[in-house]
Structure 1
Amino acid sequence: MVDLVREGVDCVVRAGALADSDMVVRRLGTMPEITVASPSYLTAHGRPQTPDDLAGHHMIGFVSSRTGQPLPLEFTRDGQVVEVPLPARVLVSGADTSAAAARLGLGLVQAPRYRFAGDLASGTLVEVLADFPPTPTPLSVLYPSNRQLSPRVRVFVDWLAETIGPGLDGGP
């Protein structure tokens, strides 16, 4: 995490829920999330049909940079978010590592859909529990409110909104 004011950073793109701050926030949209696993993992552990079928399954534990703890899997059921903590065979702190661990058959993983587009197309990973999607991840650009927004930062922020936003759910 970067302290924009103290470190003199013009702006930052952040994914996820934002803590209260005095930053100006421009929401770009939300990234749809999915749950995936490798075919070999599903052969060994079975393909769950509902979150209730996850007993005996493992997740790839993605460690939160905020808490230092693995994030539970999230599913939406009847409009309500259900968190399911599963045992983790491996803990990771990077998206590339979690995707690699999923390809190796180490467990279920959740991440934005775009992250797995190639794996889904090739069959390396398979979407599971599609009827119970994880909550989408908000994507925002932030910049300090206490300084004049430079023309180059304004152009960059507008470009982000025009380029990335339309590809996201709820984008501008």
Structure 2
Amino acid sequence: MIAWLKQYKLLAAGAAVLVMMLLAAAGAWEWQANSYGKQLAEQRTEWADQLRLTAEANATVIRKQQTDRLVLEARLATLDTTSTEKLTHAQDENDRLRREYSAADNERRRLRIEVRVARADATVSATTGAGSLGDAASVELSAAAGSAVWGIRGGMISDREKLVYLQEWARQVLRGE
């Protein structure tokens, strides 16, 4: 019986060690799961904070871009209004001059242009290679050509004002970026 008791004690001690090992393993498992859970929770919190900061930064950039765009649109609207007024004024002035020209008597309706005409009798110098110009002369345009001058002048005024507008528009857009 003693031998059986010794075996029983040995078996009981082995079972106790096995139970202790199982309890230790379960405790370690629980502790480690708890530790990993805390780490994951911290990572989730950090990730959410980072996403929030990124979203706030993006929102700030978008608000600034929208404000800049509104300012640019206001400047371009002002430029558009001013340029349209200048063009209208210049075209009105050209139309006024055209009406005056049309209503004038024949003597005042003649358009004369002062020009310098190359002299046909001038010889070209072999050393300089340049021709000479004669004295200033006056050229008189026909009535049809004189009338066409106002159309040409109106086109030049319009083109010049449009060019000034487009150059300023480009400056405003480049400055607005």
TM-score interval, normalised by the smaller of the two chains:
under 0.3
Answer with 1 or 2: which has the greater Rg: 2
Comparing both chains, which one has the higher relative contact order based on Cα–Cα distances under 8 Å and sequence gaps of 6 or more? 1
Structure that is richer in strand per residue: 1
